Amino acid sequence: MSISSHFDPDGKAHMVDVTGKAVTVREATARGDVTMSAQTAAMIQRGDAKKGDVLGVARLAAIQATKLTPQLIPLCHAIPIEAVNVDFQWPTEPCDGVSHATATLRCRVTVRTSAKTGVEMEAMTAVSIACLTVYDMVKSVDREISVGPIELLAKSGGKSGDFRRQSP
């Protein structure tokens, strides 16, 4: 039985030693959804939420979250964040002339670095915080908002190679 690299032979948690690993370009992309009422989505799209520019604040929160990841997740290495791209989309669904009661906002974050360890956790943390920020900014008008799923879409670089999620 193999044990996770985050545990020593005695089963105690420890930070993985990356001193012998090569510095490579690493990239990770994650996404998360925020589902809300159609009225809340329209308010965000119009830009008239009482707390201000919902997507602008959520974008800044995502970027900040990448930098704070090692403070939030105990065994993450502090690595240089060299690029963060945050994108929000309103996926369109076929409506056949029927008005939908809910709308989904999709957040997608790509993080890049040149380091000895990957940025998957930074990308997933950024998406999580962006989605939670959207919730925080509009919760006073819509308590039915749901967040998730949050998932890693792709990662590249490093010894373990590339990963690309198979499901859409």
CATH code, 128: 3.30.70.640
Is residue 105 one of the residues assigned to a domain? yes
Between 3 and 161, the more confident residue is 161
Token look-up 């959804």 returns 33
Cβ atoms of 31 and 152 within 8 Å: the answer is no
Cβ atoms of 51 and 139 within 8 Å: the answer is no
Integer Cα distance of 70 and 38 in angstroms: 36
Is residue 68 one of the residues assigned to a domain? yes
Cβ atoms of 31 and 147 within 8 Å: the answer is no
Which pLDDT belongs to residue 15?
78
Entry pTM: 0.88
Integer Cα distance of 80 and 85 in angstroms: 15
Q: What's the domain range around 144?
A: 30-92+99-164
Among all residues, which ones are annotated catalytic?
136
Which pLDDT belongs to residue 99?
54
Q: Tell me how many domains the chain contains.
A: 1
Tell me the average pLDDT across 44-64. Answer: 96
Q: How confident is the model at residue 4 (pLDDT cuts 50, 70, 90)?
A: low
Is residue 118 one of the residues assigned to a domain? yes
Is residue 109 one of the residues assigned to a domain? yes
Q: How confident is the model at residue 3 (pLDDT cuts 50, 70, 90)?
A: very low
